[in-house]
Amino acid sequence: MRNNGNCVRCGLRCQPGKRGDPKARPFQGAEKGLCADCAVTHLFLSPDFEMIRLGLLKHGLEVLRIPAIQNQFAEALIVGKSDLQIEDISWDRVIKQWNLPFPTGYRPHTHTKKRVGGG
């Protein structure tokens, strides 16, 4: 049986990749099997969004509730031609499930090169 709509990370019933556009950049690869909220978290953990991630670590996840932050993210989705609609995202769930681990194969691509020395 195929996984037919439950998020592989949080188990939410959803329709991943219902209108998959191969040109959709931000959620390419990530959206398969992930609900909107988990896909967003996945994106935030990727190197492309490191600035946002560092901001979250510094100021706390609650900043995700700030409309200005959400608008910024919405713009990133538009620029990246993502399938995902900002309205699909439940920021509440994103925050609550932030520390939920990603299953193997869905782990975000973090930097592999470690910076030695510096500072």
- Please choose, out of 7-15, 21-29, 53-61, 73-81, the segment that lies near Zn ion by the rule CB under 5 A: 7-15
Token code pair at residue 83 = 């399938």
Q: Any idea which residue has 């699909």 for tokens?
A: 88
Q: Is 12 in the site for Zn ion (CB under 5 A)?
A: yes
Q: Is 7 in the site for Zn ion (CB under 5 A)?
A: yes
Beta strands in 1-119 (DSSP E): none
- Please choose, out of 18-26, 32-40, 101-109, 110-118, the segment that lies near Zn ion by the rule CB under 5 A: 32-40
- Please choose, out of 19-27, 29-37, 45-53, 69-77, the segment that lies near Zn ion by the rule CB under 5 A: 29-37
Interatomic CA distance for residues 58 and 56, integer angstroms: 5
Whole-number Cα distances in Å, 48 to 10, 45, 51, 82, 109: 23, 8, 8, 14, 10
Q: Which of the residues 33 through 92 are near Zn ion (CB under 5 A)?
A: 35, 38
Interatomic CA distance for residues 108 and 45, integer angstroms: 6
Q: Which is nearer to Zn ion, 9 or 53 (CB)?
A: 9
What minimum distance in Å lies between the beta carbon of 112 and Zn ion? 25
The answer to whether 27 touches 84, Cβ cutoff 8 Å, is: yes
- List residues near Zn ion by CB under 5 A: 7, 9-10, 12, 35, 38
